[in-house]
Chains A and B, each alone.
Chain A
Amino acid sequence: MIHLTIDGKNLAVPAANTVLEAARSAGIAIPTLCHDERLAPYGGCRLCLVEIDGMAKPVTSCTTPVREGMVVRTVSERLYRLRRTIVELLLSDHPNDCMTCIGNGDCTLQELAYSYGLRENRFHGARREHHRVDANPFITREQNKCVLCGLCVRVCEEVQGVSAIGFADRGFETKIVPPFGEDLNCEFCGQCVAVCPTGALSARLWAGKPRTGGITSTRTVCTFCGCGCNLTLKCKANEVFRVDSEPTTHNRGWLCVKGRFGYDFINSPERLRTPLIRRSKGGPLEAVDWPEALQHIAARVTRFKAEHGPDAFAGLSSARCTNEENYLFQKLLRAAIGTNNVDHCARY
């Protein structure tokens, strides 16, 4: 353990910690914009600057490892001024259209602007001009809202291993684009959307849907595959309009394209909500309740087993079931029906 002092608090933290991690573990808040504890430190936004005794200039706490005997200050007049200037500079090159922005209420920049009381801006000047790009089916980019925190680039490279986007150009004109500035043509996992701290990246499915008011969050498990990623469904008026995942879950908040964007079936009018039985060949499908459906199946299975033996049955299961369900399914086939004719789309 390393012993250090942050804002007068004596702390003992693991040697691998950064100053930011040490501070947050002690409940000391340091503002950040480009930091995500699941990704490698970046040091680009400069908001997490702290003063450390013996260092001439403020340093970024997200990149600085703790050292024995370190004395750190996270609050001072100078740090406040530097952080405020940084936010002010960001806002000077930002549309500031929060009222109609999809990121409203879920935007780190908005929170920072509010907490630093930036009603006026000393730095009015040129702004980047980027057109909204949303020709692809999933992700909308409004790059004039991009703060170049690099979170999207890093999640794409470090977590997804795809590197579908990267930095281009220099200076004020720096931007994040797919190769050759074309539209996105990736696997559309949407991790970039999930980590974007502003409204620069959003999902097309979210457009025009509720943002913050009257929202309920329901935690559930994704049904697309056996990974069992935890989901948080954002609902209003009995409609799911956004899917998210918390960083504290076993999937660390990461999702794939299906889990994140494949939720339209939930509200689909074509979705099956009750079991259906076709009682005669060519006859209509008839809606029934579950007890009736299960009894119907049990009766037929018993009859066919008696007439034709257990090997007349075969069962095929799905990767969209959980491991437990798949286990129970083969158990049903083997123990209850008595056949080994059971398989799974990914093989048992």
Chain B
Amino acid sequence: MNEEIVVNVCMGTGGIAAGGEQVMAAFRREFAEAGISGARVGENCRLHKVGCRGFCARDVLVDVAVGGQASTYQYIQAEMVPRLVREHVLGGRPVAEWLVGEDYHTFHDNQCKRILGDLGRIDPEDIDEYLAADGYQAAEKALTTLSPAEVIEIIKESGLRGRGGGGFPTGVKWQFCAAAGDGQRYIICNADEGDPGAFMDRSIIEGNPHAVLEGMIIGAYAIGATLGYVYIRAEYPLAVERLRCALRQAEERGYLGENLFGGQFALRIKVKLGAGAFVCGEETALIASIEGERGMPRAKPPFPAQQGLWGKPTVINNVETLANVPPIIRHGAAWYAAVGSGKSKGTKVIALTGKIRNTGLIEIPMGMPLKDIIYKIGGGIEGDRLFKAVQTGGPSGGCIPQQHIDLAVDYENLAAVGSMMGSGGMVVLDESDCMVNIAKFFLQFTQAESCGKCVPCRIGTKRLLEILTRITEGQGREGDIELLQSLAEDVRDSSLCGLGMSAPNPVLSTLRYFRHEYEAHIKQRKCPAKVCNHLLTFFIRPDSCVGCTMCARACSVKAISGESKQPHHIDQKLCIRCGSCFDVCKFNAVLKE
């Protein structure tokens, strides 16, 4: 009767979107009913909401542990809960058909979870759970037993580098800031994660906000800052809510405020909501935004560590960087540096998406080969198609082709092959992806997000996009490849901030590795991946067409003719190559070439 029952329901943004709230409610309802009937569910039963555990594609994920024996279920919906409670919680027999499969374990077992370890285990809205997981011990150790210089030394020794994309050594940045000026200093947590498809920072704040706050406390102590800001996107409502909840709890318990840990050190942390501009992730633009100005970058030097917020020395660290700090202080620099490769130590959180079986949030040791990420953690390419490339580093990153599949993923290696670590986005592309189209996709994003301050980024990215667009629409001209190459290099070399400098990366890296695809588009007017509709011819196979008329009804220009129950035909003169017929045909009778 005293067996403890723990149910963890994944309540990250992915979990909630998949119905996590309803699943939680269903468990509560079932427990209440079962409790009334005198079953074994009572005070010893705990129902938990936990943060993202990375495998959002399988949400809602639910752990049911009875007496220490835990089972994980995938794709759980509210209507499945009664059976789970009846058979597993009350009956003691796990529901085998809903349990996660082997790939759930290969997904997790190949990772190295230092940052994400507590996500999915602890309730992010309960400071006691963080404390139970050694929370705030690192801050206490730093503030009560170490001098600021010693803290900086430990971080330097650990080899921790900025996880927001720059890869600048965190300890060195802290040291610069600590040495600059003699008055007010600030620490800012950059949670303005804006890369399309990236959700590393969001998940960390949603799943373990106290870890980030603890990192900020230690950083603030090291540099001598008494005021910190978390600059977070307003589009992350759940993260903002949990962050504010964590701040409130930390203040109540005295982890923030005056005389921290009985000493002289004081720190307040404010939350500043970003208004959705990608460029505000750039640190000087972020500072301008906090100051109430339009988020436009300024030239460096002076660096924020010398003259930052309100002109005072300021350290800006990414969410993941700060989340790395407490474990380093707890376990020591050597422990941290034991994982990693070359000049890249520790782990990296990566948002793995694209044409891959297991998409989600993962954490890998630095130096893990690309192919292990894709085939072991990712479970290989969806539908057993051929791997073509992996796009890393978000919209500013590059595409890495098959020939570099053995590449050990770290800062230097990614840069060497023309891409970058960025904040950790990783999009896997297969043979059905057109690389010109991919470059176009990312340029659409960066050119729309340019702040407009400098000419190369404002107009240059627009012109790059225009050239890419005409190539994908079959209007490519002789010389366009050379023009793209030349303009992309000029934009890279003359832009003001990281956004403009890296915006041409998707173009440059696809030109480097997939030039033949560009040539096919321009010279043969063909899209080898059959993605660019303007370069395709659509036709109907008479032997497969059953004459259902779906295609004819979908065609907006009435290019498809044919009697009902007779094979249809596309008039190529009228066809505008929109692809609607291809999308609606249920018999695979529409072909494109």
Q: Which residues of the partner chain B approach A81 to less than 8 Å between Cβ atoms?
A: 490
Q: Which residue of B lies closest to A57 (CB)?
A: B493
The answer for the CA separation of A166 and B493 in the assembled complex, in Å, is 27
In the assembled complex, which residues on chain B have CB atoms less than 8 Å from the CB atom of A92? Answer: 459, 463
Query: For residue B299, which residues in chain A have a CB less than 8 angstroms away from its CB?
Result: 41, 43, 59-60, 63-64
Does A174 touch B at the CB level, under 8 Å?
yes
Across-interface contacts of B447 in A (CB, < 8 A): 171-172
Contacts of A147 in B (CB 8 A): 455
- The residue in B299, B449, B451, B487 that gathers the most chain A C-beta atoms within 10 A of its C-beta is B299
* B277 contact set on A, CB distance < 8 A: 170
Residue of B nearest to A78 (CB): B493
Tell me, in angstroms, the Cα distance from A148 to B496 when the chains sit together.
14
> At the interface with chain B, which of A83-91, A186-194, A249-257?
A83-91
- B461:A171 contact, CB within 8 angstroms: yes
Contact A148 B453 (CB under 8 A): yes
Interface assignment of B452: CB less than 8 Å from any CB of chain A:
yes
Per-residue contact bits, chain B 438-463, to A (CB 8 Å; 1 contact, 0 not): 00000000011111111110111111
Are the CB atoms of B301 and A85 closer together than 8 Å? no
- Of the listed stretches A121-129, A270-278, A279-287, chain B binds A121-129
Main secondary structure of the interface of A (DSSP, over half): loop
A46–B452 CA distance with the chains assembled, in angstroms:
13
Residue of A nearest to B279 (CB): A170
Cα(A65)–Cα(B296), bound, Å: 20
Known A93-B459, A125-B463, A172-B458; contact A166-B294, beta-carbon cutoff 8 A? yes
Minimum CB–CB distance from B373 to chain A (whole Å) comes to: 29
Please indicate the chain B residues that have their CB under 8 angstroms from the CB of A200 in the complex.
Answer: none
- CB of B466 within 8 A of chain A? yes
Total contacting residues, chain B, CB less than 8 A = 33
Q: Is the CB of B452 within 8 A of A170?
A: yes
Residues of B close to A337: CB separation below 8 A: none
Instruction: Decide: B452 and A148 in contact? CB cutoff 8 A.
Output: yes
Tell me the B472-499 residues at the A interface (CB within 8 Å). Answer: 483, 486-487, 490, 493-496
Give the interface size class of chain A.
Answer: 35 or more
CB closest chain-A residue, reference B483? A122
Query: A134 CA to B503 CA in the complex, in Å?
Result: 37
Question: What is the chain B residue whose CB lies nearest that of A167?
Answer: B294
- Shortest B591–chain A CB gap in Å is 34
- Nearest CB in chain B to that of A93: its residue: B459
Q: Is A44 an interface residue (CB 8 A)?
A: yes
| Given A41-B299, A65-B301, A122-B483, CB of A174 within 8 Å of CB of B458 | yes
In the assembled complex, which residues on chain A have CB atoms less than 8 Å from the CB atom of B294?
166-167
Report chain A residues within 8 Å CB of B463: 89, 92, 123, 125
Contacts A43-B454, A167-B296 given; indicate if A90 touches B459 (C-beta within 8 A).
Answer: yes
Q: Which residue of A lies closest to B495 (CB)?
A: A46
A57 to B495, CA, bound (A): 10
Q: Which partner residue on chain B sits nearest A169 by CB separation?
A: B452
Q: Is A150 close to B, CB under 8 A? A: yes
**Would you give the shortest CB distance from B443 to chain A, in whole angstroms?**
11
| 9 A-B residue pairs with CB within 8 Å | A46-B454, A46-B494, A82-B493, A167-B294, A167-B296, A171-B447, A171-B450, A172-B459, A173-B452
The 8 residue pairs across chains A and B that have the minimum distance between CB atoms: A174-B452, A63-B299, A43-B299, A89-B459, A171-B450, A85-B490, A172-B462, A125-B466
